[in-house]
Amino acid sequence: MLEWKDGQPFSSRFGDVYFSTESGLEETRHVFLQGNELTRRFAVLHDGDSFCIGETGFGTGLNFLCAWQLFEQTAPPGASLDFFSTERFPIDDEDLRAALALWPALAAQAEALLASWKRRVPGWNRWHFADGRVRMTLAMEDVAQALPQLQPASVDAWFLDGFAPARNPEMWNEAVLAAVARASHEGTTLATYTSTGWVRRSLQAAGFEVKRVPGYGRKWEMTCGQFFAHSPASGRRVMPRSALVVGGGLAGCAVANALAQRGIQVTLIESAAQLASAASGNPRGILHARFGAGMNTLHRFVLAAYGHALALLDAVLPVDGVHRAECGLLQLAATDSEAKRIGKLATQEWPPHLLQVVDAEHASALAGLTMSHGGMWFPAGGWVVPTEVCARLAQHPNITLRLNSEVTTLERTANGWRARGEGFAIEAQQAVVCSAHQAKQLAQFAALPLQPVRGQISVLPATAASGMLKAVLCAEGYCAPALDGEHVAGATSAFDDDARDVRAADHAENIARLSAHMPALYQALGGAMPLSGRAGVRCSVPGAMPLVGEVEPGLYCSLAHGTRGLLTAGLAAEIIAAQMCGTVPPLPQDLLDVLAPLPRMRRQG
């Protein structure tokens, strides 16, 4: 637990301070920045280069903010910084705000970190700062679990910063230092405030050459080190200059944006006359993270994607009540299976900013209408207009849009890939296919078990009574609060049906679910008939885990997001961008392995 002692943050759990009480800022600069010679190393980077810092304990983020500030002051504008850190006991928003308020010189960076901090989820978090030049990957889990998931030889400099080794030995043990070594390459440096003998010896045993140097303030000594590997560094990360993206739905727009933000010239190719014209074209979509207490790989992915989607939307589509509302979302325990799932989740501890278990009375107060069931409340849930998300993502000077262009073949060229269709051929160094089940038309993806899933939503006229609904309600179906006198309710789900006609039977199904699970809302709607509807065809695969990653050298895909594209498209795009540029991925390796398309394609073939 974080306590305040003499105006400084102190951990009662570990009996130690978060940073030096003399001057945390100067100590950080001395120990971690100078200890790793970052001023010099940032200055010699080139445009397109990336530098990766790994840290063992994030704490208040002071080290991160100092490194970010130095990077902006010294690195060339086209270089980027990856900062990877772990934190098993994240502090709450108020404590973080109070701790960072101690450093007025870092006020701008602190404000940005605080905005992302409220989107934190258990597990891995990926946030962007400084217009994308600084990428944070924060694993909110035990250091011993997180570090071995890093790519080998991926870190250039380490900040070893747990509490004092005697009080917090699990941050300094052999397994952790072995994972630090595994993620290091020839020339990777480390710095730590401690000069404890057994830590130094463990670092030596792990392959670091270490030396004692003067510490900061009253601390006589600290430790610096350099990794000596038997094999040389894995080589400079090389960022491609150009990429083509096939498919202008959420998945494709997100990939185009992630690549463009890294300075890659992107051609975004869409067969229809506008972006988001297929499954991503519903008038409103809901931000709905559904997972169970077992937290299988799909659930872990969904949770990470939810946190990422909220932070991404904050950057591209801030809440405006017109294109996006953060009205909160209720998952109602309205069926036996939902009651069971929610009951199990209720036995676990969740950060209240993420989810809260509520009874029917509390649910009613949150919803603005009487609820017959309690459930789970997601305060940051809400709705967005997916077409607007796509439009904002695609609006980037490095993205060239090519509409009305159906790609029928993808072929390898001497320098990369060529996408061909009627009357056009577009070349780029890298290619990403994000065209849902249409990907099957391309030879490279023909064997994938992609399934079309038809889904119809219903637009219902609001009444004075239904207008009281304040939050998104979900059970087997969902209904969003009224906007311009209309609710959106959905959605049906029909596998292997790719027809897009709007059907009366599907409207009836959507309404029947409201009447069964949200009777007060159903009554408030007064039996009015749907004003309109829309059927979209989403793409899914058995097991529902999307296909994200490299398929052949330089050819990637982001496919099969099913009904979750609003959540998962952005995180999938980060995975692809990281793989393409050789930078830190936003998820642990075990999840990347499950998302990887290649093993699943081989199984099919």
Chain positions 75 to 134 lying near ligand SAM, rule: CB under 6 A, are 86-89
Long-range contacts of 99-108 (CB under 8 A, 24+ apart): 99/2, 99/9, 99/18, 99/60, 99/62, 100/60, 100/61, 100/62, 100/65, 102/7, 102/8, 102/24, 103/24, 103/25, 103/62, 103/65, 105/25, 105/69, 106/25, 106/62, 106/65, 106/66, 106/69
Task: Output the smallest distance, CB 191 to ligand SAM, in A.
Answer: 12
Task: Output the smallest distance, CB 59 to ligand SAM, in A.
Answer: 3
Binding segment for ligand SAM among 53-61, 337-345, 475-483, 500-508 (CB under 6 A)?
53-61
Task: Output the smallest distance, CB 96 to ligand SAM, in A.
Answer: 10
- Of the pair 103, 478, the CB lying nearest ligand SAM is at 103
Q: Does 143 bind ligand SAM (CB under 6 A)?
A: yes
Task: Output the smallest distance, CB 24 to ligand SAM, in A.
Answer: 7
Choose, by CB under 6 A, the member of 34, 36, 50, 60 that binds ligand SAM.
60
Task: Output the smallest distance, CB 88 to ligand SAM, in A.
Answer: 3
- Of the pair 146, 266, the CB lying nearest ligand SAM is at 146
State residue 587 phi and psi, 5-degree precision.
-135, 155
Q: Does 359 bind ligand SAM (CB under 6 A)?
A: no
- Of the pair 28, 568, the CB lying nearest ligand SAM is at 28
State residue 246 phi and psi, 5-degree precision.
-100, 115
Q: Does 574 bind ligand SAM (CB under 6 A)?
A: no
- Of the pair 47, 170, the CB lying nearest ligand SAM is at 170
Give the separation between CA 553 and CA 204, rounded to whole angstroms.
37
Binding mask 495-534 vs ligand SAM (x if CB under 6 A, - otherwise)?
----------------------------------------
Choose, by CB under 6 A, the member of 35, 48, 54, 59 that binds ligand SAM.
59
Q: Does 161 bind ligand SAM (CB under 6 A)?
A: yes
Centroid of chain to Cα 400 = 25
- Cβ proximity of 53 and 84 under 8 Å: yes
Q: In the block, which residue shows the tokens 């009015």?
A: 528
- Of the pair 7, 235, the CB lying nearest ligand SAM is at 7
- Cβ proximity of 387 and 281 under 8 Å: yes
Characterize the bridge pairing of strands 409-412 and 399-402.
unpaired
Q: Does 62 bind ligand SAM (CB under 6 A)?
A: yes
Task: Output the smallest distance, CB 100 to ligand SAM, in A.
Answer: 9
Task: Output the smallest distance, CB 52 to ligand SAM, in A.
Answer: 16
Task: Output the smallest distance, CB 190 to ligand SAM, in A.
Answer: 14
- Of the pair 107, 508, the CB lying nearest ligand SAM is at 107
Question: Residues 594, 599, 601, 603: what is their CA dihedral angle, to the nearest 10 degrees?
Answer: -110
- Cβ proximity of 226 and 246 under 8 Å: no
Amino acid at the residue 394:
A
- Of the pair 62, 298, the CB lying nearest ligand SAM is at 62
Q: Does 19 bind ligand SAM (CB under 6 A)?
A: yes
C-alpha distances in Å from residue 148, one per residue of 118, 131, 137, 582: 27, 29, 14, 17
Q: In the block, which residue shows the tokens 């709705």?
A: 383
- Cβ proximity of 42 and 75 under 8 Å: yes
- Of the pair 164, 229, the CB lying nearest ligand SAM is at 164
Give the separation between CA 348 and CA 141, rounded to whole angstroms.
15
Give the separation between CA 603 and CA 339, rounded to whole angstroms.
36
- Of the pair 161, 574, the CB lying nearest ligand SAM is at 161
Residue number closest to ligand SAM, CB atom: 57
Q: DSSP assignment of 278-311, as one string?
A: SGGG-S-EEE-----TT--HHHHHHHHHHHHHHH
Binding segment for ligand SAM among 157-165, 360-368, 380-388, 436-444 (CB under 6 A)?
157-165
Binding segment for ligand SAM among 51-59, 216-224, 291-299, 495-503 (CB under 6 A)?
51-59
* Greatest CA separation for the chain: 78
Q: Does 18 bind ligand SAM (CB under 6 A)?
A: yes
Please count the other Cβ atoms lying within 10 Å of the Cβ belonging to residue 544: 14
- Of the pair 162, 374, the CB lying nearest ligand SAM is at 162
Q: Tokens for 526, please give them.
A: 């007064």
Size of the site for ligand SAM (CB under 6 A): 21
Give the separation between CA 50 and CA 307, rounded to whole angstroms.
24
Amino acid at the residue 388:
E
- Of the pair 56, 331, the CB lying nearest ligand SAM is at 56
Chain positions 291 to 350 lying near ligand SAM, rule: CB under 6 A, are none
Give kind and range of the element (H or E) at residue 246: strand 242-246
Task: Output the smallest distance, CB 19 to ligand SAM, in A.
Answer: 5
State residue 144 phi and psi, 5-degree precision.
-70, -25
Q: Does 142 bind ligand SAM (CB under 6 A)?
A: yes
Task: Output the smallest distance, CB 133 to ligand SAM, in A.
Answer: 20
Task: Output the smallest distance, CB 16 to ligand SAM, in A.
Answer: 7
Q: Does 36 bind ligand SAM (CB under 6 A)?
A: no
Give the separation between CA 278 and CA 297, rounded to whole angstroms.
28
Give the separation between CA 126 and CA 14, rounded to whole angstroms.
27
Q: Does 215 bind ligand SAM (CB under 6 A)?
A: no
Task: Output the smallest distance, CB 159 to ligand SAM, in A.
Answer: 7
Tell me the H-state helices in 347-431: 360-367, 386-394
Radius of gyration, alpha carbons of the chain: 25
Amino acid at the residue 137:
T
Chain positions 162 to 191 lying near ligand SAM, rule: CB under 6 A, are 162-163, 168, 170-171
Q: Does 26 bind ligand SAM (CB under 6 A)?
A: no
Task: Output the smallest distance, CB 129 to ligand SAM, in A.
Answer: 15
Task: Output the smallest distance, CB 125 to ligand SAM, in A.
Answer: 14
Residues binding ligand SAM (CB under 6 A)? 18-19, 57-63, 86-89, 142-143, 161-163, 168, 170-171
